[in-house]
């Protein structure tokens, strides 16, 4: 079982990236593997960029998608929706071959405010279902007041959320395997 | 009355840009002025880019917003939502001083399919109201099957939509003036 981690925030010390680090621990503990996307390397989508060969960063990124059995997305919430970086990544994943079609996806997110990315995740789920992905409905991971829940080393100290992430990663592996059986599971 | 035109598609021959060209004719015919944003020049938003002086392209863009009495946004629909380019522009407009707060905005859009950007506009209106802008509710401009409605010179030949754009631009001028009276109107 091979996962792809996608962090919608480009900030180096992003709390959402720290959530994915926690998920990575679970993935590795299960004996599965994980790769990370660099959304900041992708150019802003324009159909004009499809006229010739796709930019190298886009080709690399689409190859990462093809290799993945399941996606782990951590989304921030910017202005009540997903980030431009994440929307841009979805655009590229769905052009010149839809790499999201039929993919198992789990979504998690944390924000500084009280909503914990609930509104961004609502938009994201609409988009994911439209592109043919299969979002895992439960557990929901929407962590409010982000900075209270990490220690100075960037480790998630909120045990309830750690436990939800563990449940989510394992459920995603089972879900992806049910959609597309993987011989190693 | 000074307008700012914002095209959510970066494509050189974007049909949405052609809608804005039609709006521009109305603006100039009324004796008003208009400026255009270059969304492709903006870097993908990251909080890390705010640590020092904002990138020059962002500063230029935010200055354009400050000068504008009203915004004309043409949105494509990518994967049932707004484009990454447009979301990115909204992020930058609302950071380090919210340039959308209190702004009169009109939205138009055209797409290749039957929905004519209806779903993208629904997301966009949620975002615009959240950031404190005042979207003009009527007329709604959502033009399906884009390429049927322009001639080979890129001129909008759909007379009903031309008339709606004229109504929208004039209504936007009146709306902006009601929000923030402009002496020249």
A94-112 residue pLDDT tens: 999 999 999 999 999 999 9
* pLDDT at residue B184, rounded to an integer: 54
pLDDT at A163 over 80: yes
CA atoms within 13 A on the CB side of B83: 26
The predicted pLDDT at position A180 comes to 84
pLDDT at B5: 98
Task: Give B110→chain A minimum CA distance, Å.
Answer: 15
- Reported pTM: 0.96
Say what percent of chain A tops pLDDT 90. Answer: 97
* Nearest CA distance, B86 vs chain A (angstrom): 8
Measured in angstroms, the CA of A34 and the nearest CA of chain B are apart by 24
Q: Give the per-residue pLDDT at B181.
A: 79
Contact B6, B86 (CB under 8 A): yes
A141-143 and A134-135: which strand pairing? Answer: unpaired
Mean pLDDT along residues A29-45? 97
Question: CB-based contact (8 Å) between B140 and chain A?
Answer: no
Q: From the list B48, B80, B130, which residue is nearest A11 (CB)?
A: B48
List the one residue out of A116, A132, A134 whose CA is nearest residue A74.
A116
The confidence score (pLDDT) of residue A183 equals 62
CB contact under 8 A, A44 and B84: yes
Gap between the Cα atoms of A175 and B30, Å rounded? 59
The size of the A-B interface in CB pairs under 8 A is 97
Kindly state the DSSP code that residue A143 receives in the 8-state scheme. E
Q: pLDDT tens digits for B53-107?
A: 999 999 999 999 999 999 999 999 999 999 999 999 999 999 999 999 999 999 9
For A42, residues 6+ apart whose C-beta sits below 8 A from its C-beta are A55, A57, A58, A61, A85, A88, A89, A92
Which chain A residues have a beta carbon less than 8 Å from that of B50? none
Domain membership of residue B185 (yes or no) is no
Q: Is residue A185 included in any domain, yes or no? A: no
Q: From start to end of chain A, where are the E strands? A: 2-7, 33-36, 70-74, 104-110, 134-135, 141-143
Domain of residue B86: give its range.
Answer: 2-179
Pairing of strands A70-74, B134-135: unpaired
Residue of A nearest to B82 (CA): A87
Average pLDDT of chain B is 96
Q: Does residue A153 fall inside a structural domain?
A: yes
Pick the residue from chain A with its C-alpha nearest to B49: A11
Q: Decide if A85 and B47 are in contact by the 8 Å CB cutoff.
A: no
Could you tell me the CATH number of the domain that includes residue A23?
3.40.50.360
Question: Rounded CA gap, A21 and A19, in Å?
Answer: 5
Q: Express each pLDDT in A19-35 by its tens digit.
A: 999 999 999 999 999 99
**Predicted local distance difference test score (pLDDT) of residue B182:** 72
Q: How far apart are CA A174 and CA A167, in angstroms?
A: 11
Count of domains for chain A: 1
Tell me how long chain B is: 185
> Tens digits of per-residue pLDDT, A168-182?
999 999 999 999 877
Q: Is B139 part of any domain?
A: yes
Dihedral sign, Cα of residue B77, residue B78, residue B81, residue B85:
negative
Mean pLDDT of A113-132: 97
State the pLDDT confidence band at A184, using cuts at 50, 70 and 90.
low
Which residues on A lie below 8 Å from B94 (Cβ)?
79
For residue A77, being part of any structural domain is answered with yes
Per-residue model confidence as pLDDT tens digits over A55-90: 999 999 999 999 999 999 999 999 999 999 999 999
Q: Give the separation between CA A10 and CA A40, rounded to whole angstroms.
A: 6
Specify the pLDDT at position B93.
98
- ipTM value for the complex: 0.94
Cα–Cα distance between B6 and B15 in angstroms, integer?
13
For residues A156-164, give the mean pLDDT.
96
Other C-beta atoms lying within 10 Å of the C-beta of residue B21: 17
Give me the count of residues in chain A: 185
SS (H, E, C) B100-169: CCCCEEEEEEECCCCCCCHHHHHHHHHHHHHCCCEECCCCCEEECCHHHHECCCCCECCHHHHHHHHHHH
Question: pLDDT by residue for chain B (185 residues), tens digit each?
Answer: 999 999 999 999 999 999 999 999 999 999 999 999 999 999 999 999 999 999 999 999 999 999 999 999 999 999 999 999 999 999 999 999 999 999 999 999 999 999 999 999 999 999 999 999 999 999 999 999 999 999 999 999 999 999 999 999 999 999 999 998 776 55
A87: nearest CB among B47, B87, B126? B87
């Amino acid at each position: 079982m091979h996962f792809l981690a996608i962090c919608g925030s480009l900030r180096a010390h992003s709390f959402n990236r720290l959530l994915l680090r926690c998920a990575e621990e679970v993935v590795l503990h299960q004996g599965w593997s994980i790769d990370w996307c660099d959304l900041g390397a992708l150019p802003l989508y324009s159909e004009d960029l499809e006229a010739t060969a796709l930019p190298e960063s886009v080709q690399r990124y689409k190859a990462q998608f093809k290799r993945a059995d399941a996606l782990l997305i951590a989304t921030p919430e910017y202005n009540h929706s997903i980030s431009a970086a994440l929307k841009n990544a979805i655009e590229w994943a769905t052009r010149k071959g839809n790499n999201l079609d039929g993919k198992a996806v789990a979504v998690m997110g944390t924000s500084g405010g009280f909503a914990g990315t609930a509104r961004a995740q609502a938009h994201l789920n609409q988009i994911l279902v439209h592109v043919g992905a299969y979002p895992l409905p439960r557990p929901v991971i929407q962590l409010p007041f982000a900075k209270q829940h990490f220690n100075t080393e960037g480790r998630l100290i909120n045990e309830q959320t750690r436990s939800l992430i563990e449940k989510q990663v394992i459920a995603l592996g089972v879900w992806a395997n049910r959609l597309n059986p993987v011989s190693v599971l």
